[in-house]
């Protein structure tokens, strides 16, 4: 027999999104267990799924029932001498989970330290930083189908990961709610990635020549804190734009005009350009209109200085996009989901 799930009416979502946008939800449902999720799916249709609220820009009140996912728990599924498979429930805070794995001596997640949000949304975005993405360490994730309430296990291959993309943003968009994610981590012989960004530089400055996963994590945290605003102090959602990938011929033509343009080769025919550099070169770093703006230290990040609406931040996003298009003929894509 179905148990009626309690919902709150007309709740402000300001405390539940890292942009600190004050919009209302018509219904607000806290989900603490899988069974509660199944019962809520029977009772409410077309839910708006809310986790850490870190990768979204809310531009209007949410008419659909908001499911606030608070599933908690971390467990070791299996282990060998070299590896451990560790399962985290969707409502676990991502950075706290990363620190938990490091405290156990496990390696694999250190480059993804201090990324805002919860575990359940990490496969959706295929979050990544400093040369590591979720696709590199995720084994499986468990999910529940919204319409049928059937449980399904998605393997790494099932997720069809690409740069900030997955099956959950494409053909299965809006069909599933992820309930837990299992990661394969190293217990010894850790394969550390310290080539990206300033990680090696920070380790050298600290006199660390034989780094541990925790050392790499602390370097990443130091770099992120020096460049990125804390959402608790200034509303933001981290990187707002994806780094664009362009063809080699187009890149070579641009390089003649902008020889200082930084780049990363993806393959023989594709080049990734840092979006932050493009925006900065357009003179938009630190741009502000009212309480909406581009962060003064990291042009990839749009910020809410206080009482900006989602629509005002979106206007700044379109200004950035249009300016970069005009100067470089490059189309920037939003990394943040717009609602």
How many CB atoms sit inside 10 A of residue 7's CB? 18
Residue that is written with structure tokens 């206080």 in the block: 306
Using a pLDDT cut of 70, give the percent of the chain over it.
99
Instruction: Tell me, yes or no, if 110 is annotated catalytic.
Output: no
Q: Is the pLDDT of residue 253 over 70?
A: yes
Nearest to 85 by CA among 93, 94, 75: 75
pLDDT band of residue 280 (cuts 50, 70, 90) is: very high
- The catalytic residue among 25, 113, 239, 309 is 239
The string of DSSP codes covering 252-301 is HHHHHH-TT---EE-SSSEEE--HHHHHHHTT-TT-EETTEEE-SS-TTE
Q: Is the pLDDT of residue 1 over 70?
A: no
pLDDT band of residue 5 (cuts 50, 70, 90) is: confident
- d(CA 299, CA 301) in angstroms, rounded, equals 5
Q: Do domains 74-227 and 235-338 have the same CATH topology?
A: no
- The catalytic residue among 164, 172, 237, 309 is 164
Instruction: Tell me, yes or no, if 32 is annotated catalytic.
Output: no
Q: Is the pLDDT of residue 7 over 90?
A: no
Range 314-330 average pLDDT: 98
Q: Is 5 helix (H, G, I), strand (E, B) or coil?
A: coil
Average of per-residue pLDDT values in the chain: 95
What fold is seen in the domain 8-69? Answer: 3.30.43
Strand 132-133 to strand 128-129: parallel, antiparallel, or no bridges (unpaired)?
antiparallel
Radius of gyration of the chain, Cα coordinates, nearest whole angstrom: 21
Nearest to 69 by CA among 86, 52, 46: 52
- d(CA 202, CA 285) in angstroms, rounded, equals 24
- The catalytic residue among 39, 110, 312, 335 is 335
Q: Is 31 helix (H, G, I), strand (E, B) or coil?
A: strand
Structural domain spans, the chain: 8-69, 74-227, 235-338
What fold is seen in the domain 235-338? Answer: 3.90.78
pTM above 0.85, yes or no: yes
CATH number of the 74-227 domain? 3.30.465.10
Strand 66-69 to strand 74-79: parallel, antiparallel, or no bridges (unpaired)?
unpaired
Q: Is the pLDDT of residue 17 over 70?
A: yes
C-alpha distances out from residue 338 to 25, 117, 217, 317, Å: 16, 16, 30, 11
Range 69-74 average pLDDT: 98
- How much is the pLDDT for 2? 56
**Residues 95-154 pLDDT 10s:** 999 999 999 999 999 999 999 999 999 999 999 999 999 999 999 999 999 999 999 999
Name, in order, each residue with C-beta under 8 angstroms of 292's C-beta and a sequence gap of 6 or more: 302, 303, 304, 305, 308, 309, 312, 313, 315, 316
Q: Is 175 helix (H, G, I), strand (E, B) or coil?
A: coil
**Residues 175-229 pLDDT 10s:** 999 999 999 999 999 999 998 879 999 999 999 999 999 999 999 999 999 989 9
């Amino acid at each position: 027999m179905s148990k009626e799930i309690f919902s709150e009416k007309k709740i402000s979502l300001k405390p539940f999104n890292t942009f600190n946008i004050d919009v209302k939800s018509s219904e607000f449902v806290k989900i603490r267990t899988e069974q509660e999720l199944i019962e809520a799916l029977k009772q409410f249709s077309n839910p708006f799924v809310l986790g850490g609220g870190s990768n979204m820009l809310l531009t209007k009140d949410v008419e659909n029932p908001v499911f606030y996912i608070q599933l908690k728990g971390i467990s070791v599924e299996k282990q060998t001498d070299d590896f451990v498979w560790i399962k985290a429930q969707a409502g676990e805070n991502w950075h706290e989970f990363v620190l938990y794995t490091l405290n156990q001596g496990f390696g694999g997640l250190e480059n993804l330290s201090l990324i805002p949000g919860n575990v359940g949304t990490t496969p959706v975005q295929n979050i990544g930083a400093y040369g590591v993405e979720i696709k590199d360490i995720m084994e499986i994730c468990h999910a529940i189908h919204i319409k049928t309430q059937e449980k399904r296990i998605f393997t790494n291959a099932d997720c069809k990961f690409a740069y900030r993309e997955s099956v959950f943003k494409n053909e299965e968009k809006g069909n599933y709610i992820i309930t837990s994610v299992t990661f394969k981590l190293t217990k010894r012989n850790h394969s550390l990635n310290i080539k990206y960004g300033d990680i090696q530089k920070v380790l050298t400055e600290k006199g660390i020549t034989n780094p541990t996963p925790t050392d790499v994590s602390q370097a990443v945290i130091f770099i992120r804190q020096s460049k990125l605003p804390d959402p608790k102090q200034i509303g933001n959602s981290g990187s707002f734009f994806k780094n664009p990938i362009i063809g080699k011929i187009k890149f070579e033509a641009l390089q003649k005009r902008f020889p200082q343009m930084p780049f990363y080769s993806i393959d023989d025919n594709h080049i990734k350009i840092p979006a932050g550099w493009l925006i900065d070169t357009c003179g938009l770093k630190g741009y502000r209109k009212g309480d909406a703006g581009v962060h003064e230290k990291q042009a990839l990040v749009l910020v809410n200085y206080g009482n900006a609406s989602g629509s005002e931040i979106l206007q700044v996003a379109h200004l950035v996009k249009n300016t970069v298009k005009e100067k470089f003929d490059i189309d920037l894509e939003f990394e943040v989901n717009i609602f």
